Amino acid sequence: MAQEVANTSEEVLLGEEIEHVRLITLNRPRHLNIISSRVVSLIAEYLEKWEKDDNAELVIIKGAGRAFSAGGDLRMFYDGRTQKDSCLEVAYRFYWLCNHIHTYKKTQVALAHGISIGGGASLMVPLKFSVVTEKTVFATPEASIGFHTECGFSYIHSHLPGRLGEYLALTGARLNGKELVAAGLATHFVPFEKIPELEKRLVSLNSGNADAVKSAIEEFSVEVEPDEDSVLNKQSIIDECFSKDTVAEIIESFEVESRKEGNGWIGPVLKGLKRSSPTGLKITLRSIREGRKQSLSECLKKEFRLTINILRSTISADVYEGIRALTIDKDNSPKWDPPTLDQVDDEKIDLVFKPFEENLELQIPEKEECRWDGKYENSAYASLKVTG
């Protein structure tokens, strides 16, 4: 598999045990705490150990510096591009870890005080308590580089109010801390300057009792509402446009709305949407739509197939071109293949969704309580549901 360059001067992740509290710290702030194969292995190791430890009651996950996690290590995938299955083991471990986080038996708290993007957000959103700040930035931009909305987010996004999930997945739009709480993707908003004090309070609590943990967090949290110009206040437009059957129809509808008075915010979003990988967009839309009728385990198994087939360049090498343009050459001028939506064969899209042989599928329990289920039910936008 792709080799990871070890940095002997610092450990990529720290695990601490303080009486009944356990802490995981993503420890590569200069690299925005990206998730490498070693990080995945260490998190899995700690979580498995602590779930079986009767003395461990509360698990806190945080990021060193001002980042929580900027997601997966794209360079690792790019370096392994000539070996199509080089990252299979890493992907398998990460999807298994995602399921474990969603269904963890002990109380977890994420202190997501900074960047929380893509796979990094999978360490925040599913937790029982996810604390964000005014410095938190969330996004799932994978479709833009020829990938797909991964790590359980085809499940999470498909259960968001209205068509917000399609919007976030296709555009890679960013949400701030206030918006995350309003949409139900986070539970509490705590001012950044109070995070160290909150952490000390949680450690001193020395308990995993959910009510006690919630009360402790609420000592520091404040009520927030999205800003007036927040995309969450554009829900009717989003629902109208992103309910269309195809990506092409979504873009066409969005263009119509962009020409109406007061909709200047659409222009930059539309520009980014049009620059994204056509293949990535089509795969992502289908995955989100399927997610509405799938369980968490079904979504994770599907996403694992998509990940492996995309990394194998089953129908397109767009993901490697997207990574090259974004992080290697940094020219931000990807050459997609095929270059337009109408040239993406829908029958080929079927190939990346095709189930593997049973022994090659992601092996996770079919039915376990998912902590995120219904998490947004108490959000400000819970009434905006959608079916189909």
Three-state secondary structure readout of the chain: CCCCCCCCCCCCEEEEEECCEEEEEECCHHHCCCECHHHHHHHHHHHHHHHCCCCCCEEEEEECCCEEECCECHHHHHHCCCCCCCCHHHHHHHHHHHHHHHCCCCEEEEEECCEEEHHHHHHCCCCCEEEECCCCEEECCHHHHCCCCCCCHHHHHHCCCCCHHHHHHHHCCCEEHHHHHHHCCCCEECCHHHHHHHHHHHHHHCCCCHHHHHHHHHCCCCCCCCCCCCHHHHHHHHHHHCCCCCHHHHHHHHHHHHCCCCCCCHHHHHHHHHHCCHHHHHHHHHHHHHHCCCCHHHHHHHHHHHHHHHHCCCCCCHHHHHHHHHHHCCCCCCCCCCCCHHHCCHHHHHHHHCCCCHHHCCCCCCCCCCCCCCHHHHCCCCCCCCCC
pLDDT at residue 81, as a whole number: 79
28-77 pLDDT, tens per residue? 999 999 999 999 999 999 999 999 999 999 999 999 988 899 988 888 88
Angle, CA 271 vertex, CA 314 and CA 125 arms, to 5°? 65
Structure tokens at 312: 């194998």
Which tokens sit at 70? Answer: 């900027």
Q: What is the pLDDT of residue 158?
A: 96
CB of 288 closer than 8 Å to CB of 169: yes
Confidence (pLDDT) at 369: 60
Partners of residue 49 on adjacent β-strands: none
- Please answer whether residues 92 and 40 qualify as being in contact, where contact means their C-beta atoms are separated by less than 8 angstroms: no
Instruction: State both tokens at 45.
Output: 């190791």
Q: What is the pLDDT of residue 5?
A: 37
> pTM for the full model?
0.91
pLDDT of residue 377: 43
Q: What is the pLDDT of residue 359?
A: 84
Which ranges of the chain have pLDDT less than 50? 1-9, 372, 374-388
pLDDT value, residue 384: 36
Instruction: Please say whether the beta carbons of 127 and 156 come within 8 A.
Output: no
pLDDT of residue 386: 35
- With CA atoms as reference, report the closest residue to 365 among 86, 3, 99, 121: 99
Give the span between the Cα atoms of 106 and 57, in whole angstroms: 6
CATH architecture of the domain covering 13-374? Alpha-Beta Complex (3.90)
- pLDDT of the residue at 144: 96
Structure tokens at 279: 């293949």
pLDDT, one tens digit per residue, over 197-228 is 999 999 999 999 999 999 999 999 999 999 99
Domain ranges of the chain: 13-374
